[in-house]
Chains A and B, each alone.
Chain A
C-alpha cells in the first residue's frame, strides 16, 4: 500500500513538472538551446571521447582477464564495477553540470532569461534534462562494446538481465548526481566552485556507503547503510536484479535536490 502511494506521488510530481515544462513550448526551446551549447562546445566531445576511451580500456581489461581462466565475475560486472570505472565516473558530473547555472549568473544572462516569459521551473528542467540527455548519450558507445563483442563471438554471451540492470543503475545514479551538480551550479557564479561542490558530494555519497558498509559496525547500522550504498545497489543491478526500492530512492532524491535548486533560483524572488 505504502509502495503504491509512493509510486503514485512520484509519478504525479514528474507528470506535473513535465506538463509545466512543456506548456507553451518554452521548455523545449530552452532544452534545445542547452543541448546545442553542449554539442557546439568542445566540452561534450572531449568528455565523450575520454569516457569512450576509459570504457574501452575497462572492457579490454575485463576481456583480457577473463581469457586467463575462470573468474567469479561476469563481463558486465567487470566493466561496470571495476576500480577504473569508478575512478573515471565521478569526474563526469562536475564537468557536465558546473556550467549550467554558474555561467548564466557570471555572464548575467540569467537576467535576460528570467525577464523573458520563462518560469523558473522551465529553466531548471531544461538544464537538468539537457545534462541528463548528454549523460545518456555518453553511455551509448559503451553499449556498442557489448554489441560488437556479441556479434563477433560464436556463443551467446549476452546477458540481457545483467545489461539492462547495469544501464538502469547507471541511469539512476546519474539522475541523482546530476541533480547534485545542478544544485551546486545554482549556488555560485564560479564554475570551479560548482565543480568542486558537485564532485565532493557525489563522491561523499558513494564513499559513505562504501566505507561504512565495510567497517565493523553494528548490524542494524550496516543495514541502514546498505540502503544508500551505491556500491551494493550496483552489484545487485549488475546481477540483473532490478530493485524498485533503489529506483524510488534515486528518483525521489533527485526530485528533492531539484526542488532545493528551484528554491535557490527563486531566492531572489523572496521578499526581504
Chain B
C-alpha cells in the first residue's frame, strides 16, 4: 500500500528525513513511533503530497505521490496533527464540504457523510458549530473527514494527542475497528498506543528508521538483553566484582540491601542470557540466592534503547 524508498527531506541546515525506506502492506495497522522531532510529521506530509521529498520515491496505492498526487490523494484519508478545522462551520456542513471536495456527489456524498458521522459517534453533534466542540469531538470530526470517501489508506498524525484517557480509549477502539477494513498508518510518541493497536511498528529517530517489526518481536529481541534482578546474601562489593567479571556482563549495580541480602541489577550484552552463569557463580561461592528474574522489557525499553542519543538523557 505504501512503498517508500530512500526518502530524504532536507531543509536548510538540517536533514529532517534521511534516506528512509519502508513498506506498508494492505490491511496492516502500522505505528510510526519516534520522539518529537524525529521526522514523523515530515514523512507523513510527504506521503500525503503536502510537500515533496528532496530525493527518493514514495508510492501510495500504486501512484507516485509526487507525479500522480491527485490520484494518490484520492485513496488517502489524512488527519493532520492538531486537526485543523474551520470554526465557522457546522459539523455536517464541514463534512459535506469535504465530501464534495473529494469528488463525491449526490447520494454517494450523502451516504458517505451519514456513515462517517455514525461511525465516529457524531450523531448528536452533527448540527453543532465546530467552534463549540470539545477537543475530543474535534478529533472525531477530523477522523470522520479522513474516512468520508472510504479510502483504502488512513494516515493519522497523533490521533490521540491532547485527549483525556476516556477519549483516548474510544479513539483507539475506533482505530482497531477501522483496521478491519482499512490500511492504517498512525504516528505517535505514545508507546502503549502502538502496543495496543498496531500490527507493526516503525521506530524513527533523527530522520532514520531504527527498527521495523511487530511490537512482540521488538520486545522479545530486547528481553534477552534486558535487566536481570538478583538477590544474594553476600558482601556487596565482592559479589558485584565477581559478577562484573562474568563474560558478556556489561554492568552491575547494587540496588538495595536488606540485612545481609543485596539486590543487584545486572545488564548483559543484547541477545545473551546470563542468568545461568550468575546462578553457577552463586553456587560456586556458596552465596544463598533467594531471587533471580529478568525484568520484563517493554516497548518503552526498546524505544529508549533505540532512540536515546548521547546528548538527550
**Residues of A participating in the B interface, judged by any CB pair closer than 8 Å:** 24-26, 29-30, 33, 37, 40-41, 107-109, 111-119, 268-272
Contacts and interface: CB of A to CB of B under 8 A. Distances in A.
A116 B86 contact: no
Contacts of B213: none
A112 B97 contact: no
Interface string B76-109: 1010101011111000000001101111010000
B18 interface: no
Contacts of B45: 111
25 contacts: A25-B100, A26-B101, A33-B97, A37-B86, A40-B88, A107-B85, A107-B86, A108-B80, A108-B82, A109-B84, A112-B78, A112-B84, A112-B98, A112-B145, A115-B49, A115-B73, A115-B76, A116-B98, A116-B102, A117-B70, A117-B71, A117-B74, A119-B70, A268-B50, A272-B10
Contacts of A270: 52
User: Would you call the interface of chain B mostly helix, strand, loop, or mixed?
Assistant: loop
A33 B95 CA distance: 12
A25 B104 CA distance: 10
B224 interface: no
Contacts, number: 70
Interface of B: 10-12, 45, 48-54, 70-71, 73-74, 76, 78, 80, 82, 84-88, 97-98, 100-103, 105, 145
Contacts of B87: 107
B102 A117 contact: yes
A112 B73 contact: no
Given A116-B73, A117-B70, A272-B54, 13 more contacts: A25-B103, A26-B101, A29-B100, A30-B101, A33-B97, A108-B80, A112-B78, A114-B49, A115-B49, A115-B73, A116-B98, A117-B73, A117-B74
A34 B51 CA distance: 24
A118 B84 contact: no
Contact of B103 (A114, A117, A269): A117
Contacts of B49: 114-115
Residue among A40, A41, A108 with the highest chain B CB neighbour number at 10 A: A108
